[in-house]
Amino acid sequence: MAQQAMPAASPNSPVFRFAPSPNGLLHLGHAFSALINQNMASATGGRLLLRIEDIDLTRCTDEFEQAIYRDLQWIGLSWEEPVRRQSQHFDLYRQSLETLREMGLVYPAFLTRGEVKAHVAEHEASGAAWPRDPDGSPLYPATDRERSDTERRKLMAGGIRHAWRLDIAKTLAFAGTPLSWQETGTGAPEVIAADPSAWGDVVLSRSDAPSSYHLSVVVDDALQGVTHVVRGRDLYESTAIHRLLQVLLGLPEPVYHHHRLILGADGRKLSKSEGSTGIAALRNEGFVPADIRRLVGLGVGL
């Protein structure tokens, strides 16, 4: 398979990245995202990095990671080596969490998923809706945010499992300035007002994983010098949290480009468990890489 020739990149070249999680097989949506990144990198003389976002050690597997390399190579993607694997950098994400802890902006969160669910159900039983984040999940209740330091220390000393959450109201007051990001995915470049409070007290490190998507993504984008974050529209709203974390941690601001999603026959976002639109499944059925480009609406050679 002929690989697309990449123009030589200079030290000031734009840097793009494709950042899949190895918790399932890649589908047409991933192919589209990877190819758009490659197209934009090659059109701007930029570099393309591949990052494996495998912080969820229970759901990510080596087999899925190997399948990612196989599928991406097959569709004609080329990326720089070495590939960054997030599971090898937990210490770094812990350091950033520590910085936020020293700033007094995070708190230990002890409620289990079941306890949150019960809390929300009890509230909603009284007829009042509980606020939800842009993904539809209930916002984290105030219970843990309102605990005293003495109480927190006691619970932690008792070995109660806990996550760390950002105190969003306190953090926004601390950050001061209104937040925004530069978006190029909607046609003409525009400045989007960011509303991190819509996410409530987001989790930055889980009891079962030493980081969260939000924290590790901003740390790595900065560390890898990513200048252009090109990803699906499903992550558009998350950008508000990413901008907030970048401001708090003094990290540079990339340009964001949120592209359209590839939808299934039912009009819904593709999921990793839907075999029929999987890249490997299509390959096994006899499709060739040019078919994949056509299926996602990218002409051959684009």
Q: Which is nearer to ligand GLU, 82 or 159 (CB)?
A: 82
CA-to-CA distance for 233 and 137, rounded, in angstroms?
A: 18
- Residue 283's CB is within 10 A of a number of other CB atoms, namely 17
Among 14, 15, 19, 203, binds ligand GLU (CB under 6 A): 19
Among 14, 20, 29, 108, binds ligand GLU (CB under 6 A): 20
Count of residues touching ligand GLU (by CB under 6 A): 7
- Give the nearest distance from C-beta 174 to ligand GLU in angstroms: 24
- Give the nearest distance from C-beta 298 to ligand GLU in angstroms: 18
- Give the nearest distance from C-beta 198 to ligand GLU in angstroms: 18
Q: What angle do CA 114, 116, 121 make, to 5 degrees?
A: 95
Closest CA to 181 of 246, 248, 226: 246
Among 27, 162, 231, 293, binds ligand GLU (CB under 6 A): 231
For 119, phi and psi rounded to 5 degrees?
-60, -45
Q: Which is nearer to ligand GLU, 21 or 205 (CB)?
A: 21
- Give the nearest distance from C-beta 229 to ligand GLU in angstroms: 6
Q: Which is nearer to ligand GLU, 21 or 38 (CB)?
A: 21
Q: Which is nearer to ligand GLU, 17 or 293 (CB)?
A: 17
Among 14, 15, 16, 21, binds ligand GLU (CB under 6 A): 21
Is 217 a binder of ligand GLU (CB under 6 A)? yes
Contact between 162 and 107 under an 8 Å Cβ cutoff? The reply is no
Estimate the crossing angle of helix 239-249 against helix 90-102, to 10 degrees: 70
- Give the nearest distance from C-beta 239 to ligand GLU in angstroms: 9
- Give the nearest distance from C-beta 235 to ligand GLU in angstroms: 5
Only segment of 18-26, 251-259, 263-271, 287-295 that touches ligand GLU (CB under 6 A): 18-26
- Give the nearest distance from C-beta 205 to ligand GLU in angstroms: 17
Is 298 a binder of ligand GLU (CB under 6 A)? no
Residue ranges in 51-90 that form contacts with ligand GLU under rule CB under 6 A: 53
**Residue found by looking up tokens 């959450």 in the block:** 165
- Give the nearest distance from C-beta 80 to ligand GLU in angstroms: 17
Q: Which is nearer to ligand GLU, 235 or 280 (CB)?
A: 235
Only segment of 14-22, 72-80, 126-134, 170-178 that touches ligand GLU (CB under 6 A): 14-22
Q: Which is nearer to ligand GLU, 19 or 77 (CB)?
A: 19
Is 235 a binder of ligand GLU (CB under 6 A)? yes
Q: Which residues bind ligand GLU (CB under 6 A)?
A: 19-21, 53, 217, 231, 235
